[in-house]
C-alpha cells in the first residue's frame, strides 16, 4: 500500500482555449500535483478546452448558460453537477462568467480563478488592454479565491511581467500567459497538499 494521500478531486471550468487547463493536466500527469480532474465544464459548446480534456480521457461537459433564466439557476445546476463528481476544488481557467453566491457558498475558499492582471488593478474583462491603456510599466497575473465580487477574492499568488513600449494586447497576453502556466498549477499543488490557509483577506502559504 502506498503512503500517498488520496488525490484532490478537481473540476476545471473553462470557456475558451484551455491553455491553463493544459498546464494543470501536464503537472498532474508528471506527478507534481496529487490531484485528479473529475470533469471539465464549459459554458459554451465550442471551447477548445473541451477537446483538450477529451484527449486526456477527462469527462468534458457543456453546461450552457443560454438555457438558464438567471445566474443563480445556472449556478444551482452547476453545484449539482460538481457535487455528483465529488469535487473538492473548483478551478476557473478562463471561465468567462461571474459566479453567484450559490456557487461561492457551496465551495467556500475552494474556488480559484486566474486573472491576467495584478489585482486589484484592472479587474473584469480585457485586463491586458486596460493595463496598456493605463500605461503601467508592469502587469502580470493573479491567482485568487473567488468571492461574490468581480476578481475581489483573497490573493493566493501573483507574478509580475514588464510591459514593453511596443506591446500589443496580444504580445502582453502571451507574456502574462507564460506566467499563468507556472503559478496556477503551483496554487493547485499547494491546495492539494493542504498548504493554504485563509484568514479574512490574507492567504497564508506553508512552505
Ligand atoms: C487566461 O489568460 C486567463 O487569465 C483569462 O482568460 C485566459 C484563458 O486562457 N481569464 C480572464 O480574463 C478572467 N477574467 P486559456 O483558455 O488558454 O487558459
Domain CATH number, residue 61: 3.40.50.170
Ligand 1 centroid to Cα of residue 94, in Å, is: 4
Q: What pTM was estimated for this model as a whole? A: 0.97
Please choose from 93, 99, 179 the residue to mutate so as to test ligand 1's pocket, defined by most ligand atoms within 8 A of CB.
93
> Which position has the grid cell 493595463?
131
Does the pLDDT of residue 2 top 70, yes or no?
A: no
Q: Report pLDDT digits (tens) over 75-126.
A: 999 999 999 999 999 999 999 999 999 999 999 999 999 999 999 999 999 9
Question: What's the domain range around 122?
Answer: 8-205
Q: According to the model, what pLDDT value does residue 66 have?
A: 87
2 falls within a domain = no
> Which position has the grid cell 473538492?
88
1 falls within a domain = no
In degrees, to the nearest 5, what angle opens at C-alpha 174 toward C-alphas 156 and 164?
Answer: 95
**Which protein residue's CA is at the shortest distance from atom 8 of ligand 1?**
94
CA proximity to 185, closest of 206, 150, 157: 157
Does the pLDDT of residue 3 top 90, yes or no?
A: no
Indicate the DSSP class of residue 66: G
- Calculate the average pLDDT of the chain: 97
Ligand 1 centroid to Cα of residue 175, in Å, is: 13
Q: Are 185 and 91 in contact (CB under 8 A)?
A: no
166 falls within a domain = yes
Q: Where are the alpha helices (DSSP H) in 56-168?
A: 71-84, 101-106, 127-134
Domains: count for the chain:
1
Reading phi first (left if > 0) and then psi (alpha if -120 to 50, else beta), residue 86 is in left
In the annotation, is 202 catalytic?
no
> What does the pLDDT average to over 196-203?
98
Residues with CB under 6 A from ligand 1: 16-20, 49, 93-94, 114-116, 127, 177, 180
Amino acid at each position: 500500500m502506498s503512503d500517498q494521500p488520496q488525490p484532490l478531486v478537481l473540476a476545471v471550468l473553462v470557456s475558451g482555449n484551455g491553455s491553463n487547463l493544459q498546464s494543470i493536466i501536464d503537472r498532474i500527469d508528471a506527478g507534481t500535483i496529487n490531484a485528479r480532474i473529475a470533469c471539465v465544464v464549459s459554458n459554451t459548446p465550442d471551447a477548445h478546452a473541451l477537446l483538450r480534456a477529451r484527449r486526456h480521457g477527462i469527462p468534458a461537459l457543456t453546461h450552457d448558460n443560454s438555457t438558464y433564466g438567471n445566474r443563480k439557476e445556472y449556478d444551482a445546476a452547476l453545484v449539482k453537477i460538481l457535487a455528483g463528481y465529488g469535487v473538492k476544488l473548483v478551478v476557473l481557467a478562463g471561465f468567462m462568467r461571474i459566479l453567484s453566491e450559490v456557487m461561492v457558498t457551496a465551495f467556500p475558499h475552494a474556488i480559484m480563478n486566474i486573472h491576467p492582471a495584478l489585482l486589484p488593478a484592472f479587474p473584469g474583462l480585457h485586463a491586458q488592454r486596460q493595463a496598456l491603456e493605463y500605461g503601467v510599466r508592469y502587469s502580470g497575473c493573479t491567482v485568487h479565491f473567488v468571492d461574490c465580487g468581480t476578481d475581489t477574492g483573497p490573493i493566493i499568488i501573483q507574478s509580475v511581467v514588464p510591459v514593453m513600449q511596443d506591446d500589443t494586447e496580444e504580445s502582453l497576453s502571451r507574456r502574462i500567459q507564460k506566467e499563468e502556466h507556472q503559478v496556477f498549477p503551483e496554487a493547485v499543488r499547494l491546495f492539494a497538499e493542504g498548504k493554504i490557509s485563509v484568514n479574512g483577506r490574507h492567504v497564508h502559504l506553508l512552505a
